[in-house]
Chain A
Amino acid sequence: MWDSFLLGVEMAMRWDTMAMMGVGLMLGMFVGALPGFTTVMAMAILLPLSFFLEPLIGIPFLLGVYKGGIYGGSIPAILVSMPGTGASVATTFDGPALTKKGKGRKALEMALFSSAFGDLSSDIVTIMFIGPIALIALKVGPPELMAILFLALIVIAATSSGVFVKGLLMMVVGLFLGMVGQDPIGALSRFTFDIFQFRAGVPLLPMLIGVYALPEILIAIENRATGMIKQTINSREGGPLTFEEFRSCFRTICRSTMIGTVIGVVPGIGQVVAAFMGYAAAKNASKTPEKFGKGELEGIAAAEAANNAVNGPTMVPLLTLGIPGDNITVILIGAFIAQGLRPGPQLMVEQGPLVFAILVAMVLANILFLIIGYFTIPLFAKVVTIRKSILLPLTVVFAFAGSYVPRSDPFDLLVLVGFGAFGYLVKKLSFDVTPMVMAFILGKELEYSFGQTMVLAQGNLAQYLFFERPITAAIIIGTPFLTYMLWRRSSRLRNEVAAKLSDEIPS
Chain B
Amino acid sequence: MTFRKISLMFLGAALVFGLGAGSVKAEFPEKPITLILPLGAGGSHDLNARVFTSILPSYLGNAMIVKLMPGASGQTGTAAAAHAKADGYTLIFTHNYYDQLQQHVKKLPYDTNKDFVSVAQLNSNDASLIVRADSPFKTLKNLVDFAKANPGKLKFAHSGVWGAVHVPAVRLFKEAGIKVTMVPYKGGGPSMRGFLAGEADFTLQFPSGIVSQGDKVRVLASGSKGMFKGVPSFGESGYSDDLGSMRRIIMAPKGIPADRLKKIQDALVKLQGDKTYKNMIKKIGETTNFINGPDYDKLRPGQSKTYKELITSLTK
At the interface, yes or no: A317 with Cβ under 8 Å from chain B? yes
A residues in contact (CB < 8 Å) with B: 38, 40-41, 43-44, 47-48, 51, 138-139, 141-142, 181-182, 185-187, 196-197, 199-201, 203, 267-268, 317, 321-325, 327-328, 330-331, 334, 337-340, 342-347, 349, 406-409, 448, 451-452, 455-456, 458
Which B residue sits closest to A185, measured CB to CB?
B184
Q: How far is the CA of A48 from the CA of B46 in the complex (A)?
A: 11
Q: Are A181 and B67 in contact (CB under 8 A)?
A: no
Q: How far is the CA of A266 from the CA of B46 in the complex (A)?
A: 24
Q: Are B72 and A182 in contact (CB under 8 A)?
A: yes
Q: A327-B42, A456-B155 given as contacts; is B216 within 8 A of A345 (CB)? A: yes
A to B CB contacts below 8 Å, 19 in the list: A40-B41, A44-B50, A139-B197, A141-B194, A199-B72, A200-B75, A322-B209, A323-B190, A327-B41, A330-B42, A330-B189, A334-B42, A344-B214, A346-B211, A406-B68, A407-B76, A452-B184, A455-B181, A456-B155
Q: Are A346 and B214 in contact (CB under 8 A)?
A: yes
Please, which residues of chain A bring their CB within 8 A of the CB of B42? 40, 43-44, 327-328, 330-331, 334
Q: Are B209 and A51 in contact (CB under 8 A)?
A: no
Binary flags per residue of B167-208, CB closer than 8 Å to A gives 1, else 0: 000000000000001111110011011101101000000001
Which B residue sits closest to A137, measured CB to CB?
B193
Q: Are B192 and A345 in contact (CB under 8 A)?
A: no
B residues in contact (CB < 8 Å) with A: 40-43, 46-47, 50-51, 54, 67-73, 75-76, 79-80, 106, 109, 152, 155, 161-162, 181-186, 189-190, 192-194, 196-197, 199, 208-209, 211-214, 216, 280, 283-285
Please, which residues of chain A bring their CB within 8 A of the CB of B109? 196
Q: Are B213 and A200 in contact (CB under 8 A)?
A: no
Q: Are A408 and B193 in contact (CB under 8 A)?
A: no
In the A-B complex, list the 8 residue pairs whose CB atoms are closest, starting with the nearest: A200-B71, A344-B212, A199-B72, A330-B42, A200-B72, A322-B212, A346-B214, A342-B212
Q: Are A323 and B193 in contact (CB under 8 A)?
A: yes
Q: Are B196 and A407 in contact (CB under 8 A)?
A: no
Q: Are A338 and B280 in contact (CB under 8 A)?
A: yes
**Interface on chain A toward B: helix, strand, loop, or mixed SS?**
helix
Q: A138-B193, A458-B155 known; 12 other A-B pairs, CB under 8 Å?
A: A142-B199, A185-B184, A199-B71, A200-B75, A321-B193, A327-B42, A331-B41, A343-B212, A407-B68, A448-B186, A456-B155, A458-B152
Contact of B51 among A48, A199, A451 (CB under 8 A): A48
Q: Are A409 and B283 in contact (CB under 8 A)?
A: no
Q: Are B186 and A51 in contact (CB under 8 A)?
A: no
Please, which residues of chain B bring their CB within 8 A of the CB of A322? 192, 209, 212-213
Least Cβ distance of B62 to chain A in Å?
17
Contact of B189 among A139, A325, A342 (CB under 8 A): A325
Please, which residues of chain A bring their CB within 8 A of the CB of B70? 200, 407
Please, which residues of chain A bring their CB within 8 A of the CB of B155? 456, 458
Contact of B47 among A47, A346, A406 (CB under 8 A): A47
Q: Are A324 and B189 in contact (CB under 8 A)?
A: yes
Least Cβ distance of A436 to chain B in Å?
21
Please, which residues of chain A bring their CB within 8 A of the CB of B75? 196, 199-200
Please, which residues of chain B bring their CB within 8 A of the CB of A268? 186
Q: Are B208 and A337 in contact (CB under 8 A)?
A: yes
Q: How far is the CA of A141 from the CA of B67 in the complex (A)?
A: 33
Least Cβ distance of B236 to chain A in Å?
27
Q: How far is the CA of A501 from the CA of B138 in the complex (A)?
A: 73
Please, which residues of chain B bring their CB within 8 A of the CB of A346? 211-214
Please, which residues of chain B bring their CB within 8 A of the CB of A47? 47, 50
Please, which residues of chain B bring their CB within 8 A of the CB of A200? 70-72, 75-76
Which A residue sits closest to B38, measured CB to CB?
A200
Least Cβ distance of A165 to chain B in Å?
33
Least Cβ distance of B17 to chain A in Å?
35
Contact of B67 among A142, A321, A331, A408 (CB under 8 A): A408
Q: A44-B41, A458-B152 given as contacts; is B72 within 8 A of A181 (CB)? A: yes
Which B residue sits closest to A203, measured CB to CB?
B71
Least Cβ distance of A52 to chain B in Å?
9
Output the residue of B51, B183, B189 with the most chain A CB within 10 A: B189
Please, which residues of chain B bring their CB within 8 A of the CB of A455? 181-184
Please, which residues of chain A bring their CB within 8 A of the CB of B184? 185, 451-452, 455
Least Cβ distance of A84 to chain B in Å?
14
Q: How far is the CA of A141 from the CA of B183 in the complex (A)?
A: 12
Please, which residues of chain B bring their CB within 8 A of the CB of A451? 184
Please, which residues of chain B bring their CB within 8 A of the CB of A201? 71-72
